[in-house]
Amino acid sequence: MADDIRAILLDIEGTTTPIAFVYDVLFPYARAHLREYLRDRPDRSVIDLLKQEWADDASAAPAPAATAPELVTYVESLMDRDRKSPGLKQLQGLVWERGYRDGLLKGDVFVDVRPALERWHKRGIKVAIYSSGSALAQRLLFSTTAFGDLTTLLSGFFDTSSGVKTSSESYRRIAAVIGCSTAQLLFVSDVAAELDAARSAGCQVVLCVRPGNAAQRVSADVRVVHTFDEIH
């Protein structure tokens, strides 16, 4: 790792956390408990956000009333399309919150994550998370891992409220919040398009290749790692 690095920004899915945990555990749990959540104690601001997104969604059939059953159907269609909808991501975080609280969900990270966070923390390097999942969902995941509460080793949680991950402006915005230049920010992800956006913003980047990750095409000068043990 270059000497001028002052902060590290980490993706979650396929980088800190197995893709299987997201697709085989988190997503099915959200789908299974969606109706229950909307029936019991839905967050009105999230519901209003989803209704507004629905009204603006040209690919979805309009439903002005947006009754609870109709809203469930729309949310399920967003999941089926793997849409990075802010409303969906916030709703999923709220549904998962109950699962984490009840002990039905536990955060899953690779075994090399905690040692790396501790190593970087001791060096005075800030470490933050950037994911399409809500900041709430991120905190829940990292606070309940088999390796303990990792949130004490993290300086920030960024979601799509900071911008989409394929926009270079998102990384400029995050660097400003962290308090460093983009040149001092190292972004680690398993997705080439995200790395390209970060590089365009002036960030240093690393491609993380984990079991189950989709193959990516990156420039020959982009460093590739298979474990955080390789990032010193």
What are the pLDDT digits (tens) for 77-88?
A: 999 988 889 999
pLDDT band at residue 23, thresholds of 50, 70 and 90?
very high
Average pLDDT over residues 55-83: 77
Does an H or E element contain 18, and which?
none
Amino acid at 174: I
- CATH number for the region 22-101 comes to 1.10.720
Crossing angle, helix 135-143 and helix 86-101, to 10 degrees?
Answer: 30
Read off the pTM: 0.93
Residue 60: what pLDDT?
Answer: 61
Residue 48: what pLDDT?
Answer: 87
- Rounded to the nearest 5 percent, the helix, strand and coil shares of the chain are 50, 10, 40
Residue 166: what pLDDT?
Answer: 97
Phi-psi region of 223 (alpha: psi -120 to 50; beta: other; left: phi over 0): beta
Residue 71: what pLDDT?
Answer: 84
- CATH architecture of the domain covering 7-17+107-230: 3-Layer(aba) Sandwich (3.40)
CATH 3.40.50.1000 domain position(s) in the chain: 7-17+107-230
Average pLDDT over residues 185-191: 98
CATH 1.10.720 domain position(s) in the chain: 22-101
What are the pLDDT digits (tens) for 171-185?
A: 999 999 999 999 999
Average pLDDT over residues 17-24: 96
